[in-house]
Structure 1
């Protein structure tokens, strides 16, 4: 449930500007994820989200610049994820496995 909630939070803040935790709780509820303000606050801390001004000067939650770059690099490099016993197997594009 926690991973699903984290994924939903990241999707929401990348799709639209979210300035308050109240709004984020409402948007999560629309997706069928009920949560409390305390849980959401912990999630924001665990995801290392920051409040930054957008181009209009309005504060909104977002990923730190370094985290966004790392995420896009991972998405670009990894083709699939699988497992074998207790080993995780990442299939990457040519030259991206390092």
Structure 2
């Protein structure tokens, strides 16, 4: 009777350890997976930022609002860019679309 209880207790402890191992393994896999995804995004961003910018055009700015009009919507591009209350002497807009394009207004 005592030996039976001891074996049952050992079996339960073994099962508990096995379940804990699965949880730890799963959590570790999630952390590593998210880390890899974030590091890849960081590399992609650095690659885009280091690409040579291409000059698209210039704007003469005198108003407080600049509407750049419609830009074809793509994977990383929103359809409209609008700047409000532009107080800087120059404005740089970077649009990642198959590389980096820069539109500067002076």
TMscore range, shorter length: under 0.3
Q: State the TM-score, normalized to the length of structure 1.
A: 0.21
Which one scores higher on RCO, CA 8 angstroms, separation ≥ 6? Answer: 2
Structure (1 or 2) with the greater strand fraction: 2
